[in-house]
Amino acid sequence: MTQMLFPLPSLPRRKRVKRMHVADAGHLPGGAQKGIRFVCSHCGYDTGWIQDTRSISDNRKGLPCPACNP
């Protein structure tokens, strides 16, 4: 059996950020501005419709949930 060079528990790990994912996206009512809505699958937090200022690929990554990541 080989010995671990670094014991696993001592490895520094970044705390996992819980992210909200896109629930819906489109145009805000009456305007030309894009809107987007994120929902957290962990706690159910819902941002409601907010102005979408980010790129599609950024939106796909999700947003950190303000309720799960205090």
Binding positions for Zn ion, rule: CB under 5 A: 40, 42-43, 45, 65, 67-68
The neighbouring-strand residues paired with 42 are: none
Q: With respect to Zn ion, which residue has the nearer C-beta, 34 or 59?
A: 59
Instruction: Please give the single-letter amino acid code of residue 66.
Output: P
Least distance between Zn ion and beta carbon 23 (Å)? 13
Q: With respect to Zn ion, which residue has the nearer C-beta, 41 or 49?
A: 41
Q: With respect to Zn ion, which residue has the nearer C-beta, 36 or 40?
A: 40
Cβ neighbours around 20 below 10 Å, total: 23
Closest CA to 46 of 66, 17, 60, 25: 66
